[in-house]
Amino acid sequence: MTFNGGYNVMLEGAPSPGIAPYQKPEVLYLPLFSESLDFSNLQVEHGEAVTKGQILAKDPINFSVPLLAPMDGTVNLERAERHIALENLSSAKEGAAMQAEDENQRQTLLRMGVWSSLARVDSGRIPDPENTPACVVIPVSRLEPFFPDAQTLLKDALEQFGAGLDLLHKILGDTEVMLICAEHDSGIKSQLQTVTAERSAWLKLFEVPELYPFDSPALAAQLNDLNPEKTWATDLQAVLAVRAAIEDNHPFVKRIISVSGPMVDSPGHHQLPIGYPLADLGFRNGGVPLRVVNGGVLTGTAVESAQLGLDCGCRSLNVLEEMTKREVLAFVQPGFTKRSYSNTFASFFKPLFKEKFTTALGGEARPCVFCGFCESVCPAGIIPHLIYRYLDHDRPEDAYRVEFDKCIDCGLCSYVCVSKINHLELFRAERQRAIAEAIEGE
Ligand code: SF4
Ligand code: SF4
């Protein structure tokens, strides 16, 4: 197996293992929107008392996946725009199971909020519950530096994880399952080997180098010659949630998320209900403006100021300083604290340090200098600067001709670019355009 590119992204502020406690919220703000979902079909009224797991809204575009009440409470539709606020929260029934219903198990996963954690590898969209994948790919090792740590997610839960895999395999029509594990992640690898040994007929362990982004399901599909249209992806928490939904009737309304980055005092993991107020997460700001990034540090998107609570797709939040002023005489500083793929900074002499990162671009936007760094890190073996140029000149057909469809959205090309060209933004815009076109044609 040939692995191209990849990079060891070393940043300050990674989450420490273990789950830190968090205070019970006074109110939950459930966003009616997220990067991939739009819960426009409301199922509750203002002032209505709801119980944990009750459907509050549905997304009609995405197979009516539901937004669920994470706790018992009272609905307030007027407190915050584009949110359902849940007040008078009660945890009296925190551990309570929902009523079982007479339905098939795929419908159970849909009703319990688990189905929306599945994604098609070719488009990132939620798959049709009527379809069956040939393979489901699940990353286990954490190669994106600020994602939740596998040891934390699987602590005391290995047996449940195995049971979740069994159910997923069966519910999805005896599909094959592939776990992606870093070669050097010996702790988690030995645990997984016990899980795979009993299920070797349909469960495979795919070992990858310990470099970002080799835990990408889209890349695993390419490297294993899987048809991306028939390959789905999910994550560890969703596998545990499958078991909890089917065997215990528990809705998927809480997530373990990592809260990390240089502007977080104690980067770590927290188990939080969807809608948990972002303002209660205690980011340190010291008077400086912050950027809160939902998702990976290289691939996440800035949380809109209008968003007040955790959305149901959130896996990690990263908090960094929003640079509003120019760095004075930055170009004459030796750069012991700055990392560069080109090793032009003095940090070249201390290779293992972790960089403190901000939103600074290191100067104005600059044209491509054809250094080739983006090409050398690209794990898909394509030429990011060429694709960027085609898309920037509104020539998408040429971009696809040079295999833009192989791009796995990892963001490494933007990260290493000496001219700080935002490839990822343009690549995503083109993908959104293509998806919108496909939806229109359906
Ligand atoms: S072109 Fe795509 S796959 Fe290659 S580095 Fe850029 S984002 Fe990653
Ligand atoms: S890394 Fe940036 S400057 Fe270098 S070739 Fe790629 S796009 Fe051009």
Please report, for the chain, the start and end positions of each structural domain, with discontinuous segments joined by +. Answer: 361-441
| Residue percentage of the chain with pLDDT more than 90 | 68
Q: For residue 371, give the nearest of 326, 330, 420, 328 by alpha carbon.
A: 420
Whole-number pLDDT of residue 285? 74
Q: How far is the CA of 385 from the centre of ligand 2 (A)?
A: 6
Ligand 2 contact via 386 beta carbon (within 6 Å)? no
Residue nearest to atom 2 of ligand 1 (CA): 407
> Is 38 in contact with 15 (CB distance < 8 Å)?
no
Residue nearest to atom 3 of ligand 1 (CA): 407
Q: How far is the CA of 373 from the centre of ligand 2 (A)?
A: 6
With cut-offs at 50, 70 and 90, classify the pLDDT of residue 371: very high
According to DSSP H, which parts of 234-314 are helical? Answer: 236-248
Q: Write the pLDDT tens digit of every residue in 377-414.
A: 999 999 999 999 999 999 999 999 999 999 999 999 99
Whole-number pLDDT of residue 55? 97
Ligand 1 neighbours by CB, cut-off 6 Å: 377-380, 382, 384, 407-413, 423-424
Whether the pTM exceeds 0.85: the reply is yes
Q: Write the pLDDT tens digit of every residue in 159-170.
A: 999 999 999 999
Ligand 2 contact via 421 beta carbon (within 6 Å)? yes
- Please check the confidence at residue 349 and state whether its pLDDT lies above 60: no
Q: Which atom of ligand 1 is nearest to the CA of 423?
A: 6
Q: For residue 432, give the nearest of 382, 390, 391 by alpha carbon.
A: 391
Whole-number pLDDT of residue 420? 86
* Token pair listed for 277: 């107020």
- Please check the confidence at residue 185 and state whether its pLDDT lies above 90: no
- Please check the confidence at residue 94 and state whether its pLDDT lies above 60: no
Q: Write the pLDDT tens digit of every residue in 117-147.
A: 999 999 999 999 999 999 999 999 889 888 9
- Please check the confidence at residue 362 and state whether its pLDDT lies above 70: no
Task: Name the most confidently modeled range: 250-259, 333-342, 431-440.
Answer: 250-259
- The structure tokens 């795919």 sit at 206
